[in-house]
DNA sequence: CAACAAAATGAACAGATTGTTCAATTTTGT
DNA sequence: ACAAAATTGAACAATCTGTTCATTTTGTTG
């Protein structure tokens, strides 16, 4: 009974990995169920025993990706006490995000490229936007000093962060998560300098 | 002779506008050439007299969009002398971008959504990334003070800006371009404050 | 109006892909 | 050996694609 499930799971996984492999070289739009079956060396009908269609397949992989990232982030964050300063905590969250993303970078690189599916960058931002918001709102003076709508600030900062991630994965991880964190902090500091001079 | 061209142009435009109309309600993937012909009330064969396929159609609309935005930005920017401070110039560029984007917001809203085509946000960023870079590098002390690779800084700032644009068009332009510029400046100032406290 | 050119139509075509069905086969469990 | 679950292979109608070509409509010119 349990080996039946195991076999089922294994085939499903085979289909997923085969699909991702094709996705490296072909656009999602251009991939057919026949392509996937051929790559996985299974019957085309078998595909339909595991997924409704290729959209369902991609959806499930995407959901798994977000769930996995969420788990990794929560686990990494739980290792740190939150008695640090507000800024240290922001830095810590950044480090956690970069570490989690590194592990899933092969998939993220594809999903964020033009081989993926439209709107992924929005769903990805939404997936970790809530964690960022909670972290920011820990700080009491934050909401008091913030003069712009929270949704705009969140869009700004999560999108900025996504920009770094996109450059990073396109560069095939040319830096360590710690270096990326430093780079992030440096950019924030640099923006500070620019404006300080103005005033 | 020239009226033949005019008629040709008009039909091509009809196909484009009809397509965009469908795109508001359906995913690009799910739209067929038959759908477009039906909406435009033309023969399906006529479509192929003007475009290779639906991908070609979308590509051309995208190219036109970028060209139009580029022209608007250049024109708006040419109305201002560049004798202001570095920061004022950055603010001016932001105002210009928001103004140009407002005009093209209906199309941008669709293209940035999950009804569009994968990778649009990257191509969009690339389209105005160069203008931002040139504007930044005007300032001599900029390159001297910047401690991070230019490509990362550009990814960060253009992506952050895109985040504001995305929120703006999703909110159906709930603010004026000038208000968006102020909002942008406010966020930069806010980040400055946060870090100033730390030091 | 007549003659011509360009654009659009309608219909047909083969080819590819989709999602479903079902009997036969293989793999695994008891 | 027998039963259960998973997979296979083949066939099916349906849809969409891109192309072709004869015909019709629209616009131009003399």
Checking if the pLDDT of B173 tops 70, the result is: yes
Q: Give CA separation, B182 vs A15, A92, B94, B190, in Å.
A: 50, 30, 9, 12
Q: Are B93 and B77 in contact (CB under 8 A)?
A: yes
Checking if the pLDDT of B184 tops 70, the result is: yes
Cα of A59 to nearest chain B Cα, Å: 13
In the predicted model, what is the mean pLDDT of residues B36-41?
A: 98
DSSP assignment string, B68-135: HHHHHHHHHHHTS-S-S-HHHHHHHHHHHHHHHHHHTHHHHHHHHSTTS-TTHHHHHHHHHHHHHHHH
In the predicted model, what is the mean pLDDT of residues A148-155?
A: 98
Which residue's structure tokens are 């920011």? A136
d(CA A106, CA A113): 11
Chain B residues touching residue A85 (CB < 8 angstroms): 198
Q: Are B135 and B90 in contact (CB under 8 A)?
A: yes
Cα of B150 to nearest chain A Cα, Å: 11
Contact between the CB of A44 and strand C at under 7 Å: yes
Tens digit of each residue's pLDDT (9 = 90 or more) over A50-59: 999 999 999 9
Q: Which of B112, B118, B25, B122 is nearest to A31 (CA)?
A: B118
Å between CA of B10 and C1' of C5: 18
User: How far is CA A128 from its chain centroid?
Assistant: 8
ipTM of the complex: 0.93
For residue A74, give both structure tokens: 């929560």
Q: Which of A95, A91, A97, A93 is nearest to A69 (CA)?
A: A97
Chain A residues touching residue B113 (CB < 8 angstroms): 118-119, 122
In the predicted model, what is the mean pLDDT of residues A157-178?
A: 98
Nearest residue in chain B measured CA to CA from A115: B118
Å between CA of A99 and C1' of C21: 48
Tell me which nucleotides of strand D come within 7 A of a protein CB.
5-11, 15-21, 26-29
> For residue A138, what pLDDT is reported?
87
DSSP assignment string, A62-115: HHHHHHHHHHHHHHHHHTS-S-S-HHHHHHHHHHHHHHHHHHTHHHHHHHHSTT
> For residue B195, what pLDDT is reported?
56
> For residue A55, what pLDDT is reported?
98
Tens digit of each residue's pLDDT (9 = 90 or more) over A58-86: 999 999 999 999 999 999 999 887 667 88
Checking if the pLDDT of A195 tops 60, the result is: no
Q: Average model confidence (pLDDT) for chain A?
A: 93
Q: Give CA separation, B157 vs A135, B91, B112, in Å.
A: 22, 13, 18
A115 vs B118: CB contact, 8 Å cut-off? Answer: yes
A29 vs B27: CB contact, 8 Å cut-off? Answer: no
d(CA B132, CA B115): 28
> For residue B1, what pLDDT is reported?
60
> For residue B57, what pLDDT is reported?
98
B166 vs A159: CB contact, 8 Å cut-off? Answer: yes
DSSP assignment string, B152-170: HHHHHHHHHHHHHHHHHHH
In CATH terms, the fold of domain A1-51 is Arc Repressor Mutant, subunit A (1.10.10)
Å between CA of B22 and C1' of D14: 23
User: How far is CA B7 from its chain centroid?
Assistant: 29
Nearest residue in chain A measured CA to CA from B155: A163
B122 vs A166: CB contact, 8 Å cut-off? Answer: yes
Q: Return the minimum-mean-pLDDT range out of A28-42, A114-128, B16-30, B182-196.
A: B182-196
For residue A87, give both structure tokens: 């800024």
Cα of A138 to nearest chain B Cα, Å: 14
For residue B121, give both structure tokens: 């946000």
| Domain positions in chain A | 1-51, 55-198
For residue B142, give both structure tokens: 């900029």
The strand ranges marked E within B45-175 are none
Checking if the pLDDT of A173 tops 60, the result is: yes
d(CA A157, CA B137): 23
Chain B residues touching residue A150 (CB < 8 angstroms): none
> For residue B198, what pLDDT is reported?
37
Å between CA of B59 and C1' of D24: 32
A160 vs B159: CB contact, 8 Å cut-off? Answer: yes
Tens digit of each residue's pLDDT (9 = 90 or more) over B45-78: 999 999 999 999 999 999 999 999 999 999 999 9
d(CA A195, CA B33): 52
Cα of B88 to nearest chain A Cα, Å: 9
> For residue B91, what pLDDT is reported?
93
Chain B residues touching residue A166 (CB < 8 angstroms): 122, 155, 159
| ∠ CA A79-A178-A155, rounded to 5° | 85
């Amino acid at each position: 009974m349990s080996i039946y499930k195991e076999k089922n799971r294994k085939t499903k996984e085979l289909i997923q990995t085969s699909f991702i492999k094709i996705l490296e070289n072909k656009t999602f739009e251009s991939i057919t169920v026949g392509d996937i079956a051929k790559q996985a060396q299974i019957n085309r009908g078998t595909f339909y025993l595991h997924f409704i269609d290729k959209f369902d397949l991609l959806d499930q992989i995407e959901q798994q990706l977000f769930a996995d990232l969420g788990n990794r982030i929560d686990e990494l964050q739980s290792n740190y006490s939150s008695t640090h300063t507000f800024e240290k905590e922001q830095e810590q969250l950044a480090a956690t995000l970069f570490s989690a993303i590194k592990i899933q970078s092969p998939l993220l690189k594809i999903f964020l490229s033009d081989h993926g599916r439209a709107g992924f960058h929005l769903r990805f931002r939404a997936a970790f936007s809530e964690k960022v918001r909670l972290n920011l709102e820990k700080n009491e003076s934050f909401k008091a000093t913030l003069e712009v709508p929270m949704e705009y600030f969140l869009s700004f900062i999560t999108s900025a962060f996504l920009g770094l991630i996109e450059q990073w994965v396109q560069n095939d991880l040319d830096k360590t998560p710690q270096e990326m964190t430093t780079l992030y902090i440096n950019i924030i500091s640099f923006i500070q300098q620019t404006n300080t001079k103005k005033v």
